[in-house]
């Protein structure tokens, strides 16, 4: 079952969805994580403020929140 409130990682100036804040090497949208500036949960940031690609991929797999 998909995580209802996934972890977001700040990479560059964008929040991306990741499977795991420490172990993931790529974001949901396939970008390689180069810096881990911060992490939080989706509910703290909001779907409209994250990487659009990640948001779209998530919506395709679990539907809008
Ligand atoms: Zn992304």
Domain residue limits, the chain? 7-62
Whole-number Å distance, alpha carbon 48 to ligand 1 midpoint, is 12
Residue 44 is given by DSSP the state H
What is the whole-number distance in angstroms between the Cα of residue 15 and the centre of ligand 1? 7
Q: What are phi and psi of 41, to 5 degrees?
A: -110, 150
- Using one digit for the tens of pLDDT, what is the confidence trace for 8-65? 999 888 999 998 888 899 999 999 998 888 999 999 999 899 999 999 999 888 765 5
The number of residues making up the chain comes to: 65
DSSP per-residue letters across 10-63: EETTEEEEES-TTT-SB-TTSPBP----EEEEHHHH-GGGS-HHHHHHHHHHH-
């Amino acid at each position: 079952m998909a995580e209802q409130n996934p972890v977001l990682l700040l990479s560059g100036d964008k929040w991306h969805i990741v499977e795991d804040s420490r172990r993931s090497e790529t974001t949901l949208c396939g970008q390689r994580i180069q810096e881990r500036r911060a992490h939080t949960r989706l509910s703290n940031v909001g779907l409209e403020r994250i990487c659009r690609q990640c948001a779209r991929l998530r919506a395709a797999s679990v539907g809008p929140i």
